[in-house]
Amino acid sequence: MEKKDPEIITEKGLMRNWSRSMRAQGKTIGLVPTMGYLHQGHISLIKEARKHTDLLVVSIYVNPGQFSPNEDLSTYPSDFQGDIDKLMALPGGVDVVFHPYDLYDYRNNGSESGENDTSKIFDAKDEDGREKAVVSCIEERQSGHETWIRVERLEKGLCGKSRPVFFRGVATVVAKLFNIVEPDVAVFGKKDYQQWRIICRMVRDLDFPINVIGSEIVREDDGLAMSSRNVHLSTEEREKALSISMSLSRAKIAAQNGQVSCRELQNSVIQAIQEAGGKVDYAEIIGQENLEAVEEIKIPVVFCVAAWFGKVRLIDNMEIDMRVM
């Protein structure tokens, strides 16, 4: 298949116009949303998306709406030219890279109402004159954005406990991307399992005409789940971080051999990670569809883990389905 340079689009209106012109020609469009710094996990999503549509858009946008001011937005790794080189090296490449500067900056949208003057539509104080709490980098920037999408029940557990603004930011920016790109298919990685399920629920509840596909986790040769954050691990931390995938694999084998007590399985994983020097955020076994905790494995579940090694927070999971052995 011929390799080609992707068209790089930075403006929302131009992106929407491209999609609509392609659709008018009878083409189907796939979307793979990313925050850049692409690795083989992202490449696997792109290859999966290629199977389902005629044309493919990859978005590269580090979304400030999902970071709180004390998180790692400013240090999130970035290599745009490297990303383009990787996309160009793919057989067939991609058709468009959507690389907006700021999806929350409304000052250049061409409105005649005056509402794009962010100094007028953002008030940093509440009705009693007190400073409003800044909960995400959007509020910190005072961009005027105030509309959020929440998938209320599914966002509460797992990462939602320690990152209270994360999933509203994810759901909101994905909805914005869906409205701008207007894809037929969107592909998300199952490594971010809760995120994938939240996007599926949002699409269902808001009637987006989009087929959301979950793609399997891609791992390094030693089993570590691929992540853009892995680059921040020291050699020693990376070695210790293998305790996550190794303990999850042992737990899956134990479950398949008849150990169905979730508390026992969770304790074994927690102990393995702590003994390796990690700090466990959570280690929970939940239903694959509803993300609710279970006491015994009687339905298809997913074992989700988040843990800190040094200053790097890693997530991983493993699906366990007793019907598939």
Q: Which amino acids are annotated catalytic?
A: 42
Alpha helices in the chain (DSSP H): 12-24, 40-50, 80-89, 118-121, 137-141, 159-162, 166-181, 193-205, 235-256, 262-275
- Helices and strands: H and E segment counts in the chain: 10, 9
CB 153 within 8 A of CB 181: no
Q: Which two tokens stand for residue 254?
A: 């134990």
Collapsing DSSP states into helix, strand and coil, what is residue 269? Answer: helix
* Stated length of the chain: 325
Number of neighbours of residue 275 by Cβ within 10 angstroms = 11
Per DSSP, the residues of 104-137 read T--TTS--SSSTT-HHHH--SB-TTSPBPP--SH
Distance CA 21, CA 92 (A): 20
Question: β-pairing, 312-320 with 185-189?
Answer: unpaired
Collapsing DSSP states into helix, strand and coil, what is residue 179? Answer: helix
Q: Strand pairing partners for 296?
A: 261
CB 173 within 8 A of CB 103: yes
Q: Which two tokens stand for residue 93?
A: 């490449």
Rounded (to 5) percent helix, strand, coil in the chain: 35, 20, 45
Distance CA 13, CA 22 (A): 14
Q: Which two tokens stand for residue 273?
A: 């990670």
Q: Which two tokens stand for residue 144?
A: 């005027």
